[in-house]
Amino acid sequence: MRILVVEDEAKVASFIRRALEEESYAVDVCADGARGLDLARAGCYDLVILDLMLPGMPGLEVLKALRKEQVAAPVLILTARSELDQKVKGLDAGADDYLTKPFAIEELLARVRVLLRRGSGEAAGVLQVDDLVLNPATREVTRGGKRIELTAKEYALLEYLMRNAGRVLTRPMIAEHVWNQDFDTFTNVIDVYVNYLRNKIDRGQERKLLQTVRGSGYTLKAE
Amino acid sequence: MPLRVRLTLWYGTALAAILVVFGGVLYAMLAHGLRDQVDRSLDEAASVAVRALEQHRVGPFLPFEDLAVEFPELAVLDKSFQIFSPAGKVTIQSPNLGRLDIPLSRTALEAALSGRATFESARFLDGSSFRLLSVPIILDGALVNIIQVGTSLRSVEEMLHRLLLVLLVSLPAALAVALGGGWFLAGRALRPVEAITQAARRIAAGDLTQRLTVAHSPDEIGRLAATFNNMIARLEASFRQVRQFSADASHELRTPLTVMKGETELALRRARPAEDYKLVMESTLEEIDRMAQIVDELLFLSRADLGEVRIESQPVRLDALVEDIQRQAVVLGQEQEIQVMVGSVALVQVQGDELRLRELLLNLVDNAVKYSRPGGKVEIALARYAGMARLSVTDQGIGISVEAQTRIFDRFYRTDDARAHAKKGTGLGLSICKWIVEAHHGRIEVQSKAGEGSRFTVILPAD
Nearest to B420 among A53, A55, A103 (CB): A55
Q: pLDDT-based confidence at B237, cuts 50/70/90?
A: confident
Strand positions, DSSP E, B32-141? 80-84, 90-93, 118-123, 129-139
* Higher local confidence (pLDDT), A90 or B77: A90
- As a whole number of Å, the end-to-end CA separation of chain B is 61
Q: How many Cβ contacts (< 8 angstroms) between chains A and B? A: 62
Report the 3 state secondary structure along chain A. Answer: CEEEEECCCHHHHHHHHHHHHHCCCEEEEECCHHHHHHHHHHCCCCEEEEECCCCCCCHHHHHHHHHHCCCCCCEEEEECCCCHHHHHHHHHCCCCEEEECCCCHHHHHHHHHHHHHHHHCCCCCCEEECCEEEECCCCEEEECCEEECCCHHHHHHHHHHHHCCCCCEEHHHHHHHHCCCCCHHHCHHHHHHHHHHHHHHHCCCCCCCEEEECCCEEEECCC
Q: pLDDT-based confidence at B83, cuts 50/70/90?
A: confident
pLDDT at B59: 54
User: Using CA atoms, how far apart are residues A51 and B322, in angstroms rounded to an integer?
Assistant: 42
pLDDT at B95: 67
- pLDDT winner (highest mean) among A161-165, B39-43, B141-145, B387-391: B387-391
pLDDT at B62: 56
Q: What is the CA radius of gyration of chain A?
A: 18
Q: Report percent pLDDT > 90 for chain B.
A: 33
- pLDDT winner (highest mean) among B184-198, B222-236, B271-285, B295-309: B271-285
Q: Given a cut of 80, is residue B260 above it in pLDDT?
A: yes
Q: pLDDT-based confidence at B334, cuts 50/70/90?
A: confident
pLDDT at A221: 85
B49-65 mean pLDDT: 64
B252-266 mean pLDDT: 91
User: Using CA atoms, how far apart are residues A189 and A84, in angstroms rounded to an integer?
Assistant: 47
Determine contact, residues B134/B49, Cβ cutoff 8 Å. Answer: no
B169-191 mean pLDDT: 87
Of residues B270, B350, B274, B283, the one with CA closest to residue B315: B350
pLDDT at B318: 93
B273-332 residue pLDDT tens: 999 999 999 999 999 998 999 999 988 988 888 888 888 899 999 999 999 998 888 888
State CA A44 to chain mean position distance: 10
pLDDT at B310: 87
What length does chain B have?
A: 463
Whether the ipTM is more than 0.85: the answer is no
Which strands sit side by side in the sheet containing A217-220, from one edge to the other?
A169-170, A217-220, A210-213
The Cβ of residue A140 has, within 10 Å, a number of other Cβ atoms equal to 15
Between chains, do B258 and A55 touch, taking CB under 8 Å as contact? no
pLDDT at B347: 92
Chain A residues close to B263, C-beta within 8 Å: 11, 15
B20-43 mean pLDDT: 90
Q: What per-residue string of b and e applies to A201-222 under the rule 16 or more CB within 10 Å gives b?
A: bbeeeeeebbeeeeeebbbbee
Q: pLDDT-based confidence at B28, cuts 50/70/90?
A: very high
User: Judging by DSSP bridges, how do beta strands A140-143 and A146-148 pair with one another?
Assistant: antiparallel
Measure A94 CA to nearest chain B CA, in Å: 23
pLDDT at B84: 81
Between chains, do A19 and B262 touch, taking CB under 8 Å as contact? yes
Between chains, do A11 and B416 touch, taking CB under 8 Å as contact? no
Nearest to A15 among B254, B266, B417 (CB): B266
Nearest-5° Cα angle at B24, B18 to B26? 100
The residue of chain B nearest to residue A15, with distances taken between CA atoms, is B263
DSSP secondary structure string, B135-182? EEEEETTEEEEEEEEEEE-HHHHHHHHHHHHHHHHHHHHHHHHHHHHH
Chain A residues close to B260, C-beta within 8 Å: 102
Q: What per-residue string of b and e applies to B290-328 under the rule 16 or more CB within 10 Å gives b?
A: bbebbeebbebbeebeeeebebeeeebebbebbeebbee
pLDDT at B191: 80
Q: pLDDT-based confidence at B56, cuts 50/70/90?
A: low
Residues of B with CB under 8 A from a CB of A: 247, 250-251, 254-255, 257-263, 265-266, 269-270, 283, 287, 416-417, 419-420, 423
The Cβ of residue B440 has, within 10 Å, a number of other Cβ atoms equal to 23
Chain A residues close to B270, C-beta within 8 Å: 22
Phi, psi of B395 (to 5 degrees): -130, 170
Between chains, do A103 and B261 touch, taking CB under 8 Å as contact? yes
Measure B407 CA to nearest chain A CA, in Å: 16
Q: Given a cut of 90, is residue B75 above it in pLDDT?
A: no
SS3 B353: coil
Helix A10-22 and helix B220-268, axial crossing angle in degrees, nearest 10: 40
Q: Report percent pLDDT > 70 for chain B.
A: 92
pLDDT per 10-residue tile (average), chain A, 223 residues: 90 93 90 90 87 86 89 87 75 89 92 82 74 85 89 89 87 80 67 89 86 88 79
Between chains, do A102 and B254 touch, taking CB under 8 Å as contact? yes
B411-422 residue pLDDT tens: 888 888 887 777
Q: pLDDT-based confidence at B66, cuts 50/70/90?
A: low
Q: pLDDT-based confidence at B77, cuts 50/70/90?
A: low
pLDDT at B422: 74
User: Judging by DSSP bridges, how do beta strands B377-385 and B339-345 pair with one another?
Assistant: parallel
Nearest to B416 among A9, A19, A56 (CB): A56
Nearest to A101 among B247, B258, B419 (CB): B258
B4-21 residue pLDDT tens: 888 888 888 998 999 999
Between chains, do A81 and B250 touch, taking CB under 8 Å as contact? yes
User: Using CA atoms, how far apart are residues B351 and B362, in angstroms rounded to an integer?
Assistant: 18
B232-250 mean pLDDT: 83
Of residues A190, A120, A215, A217, the one with CA closest to residue A159: A120
pLDDT at A183: 56
Q: pLDDT-based confidence at B220, cuts 50/70/90?
A: confident
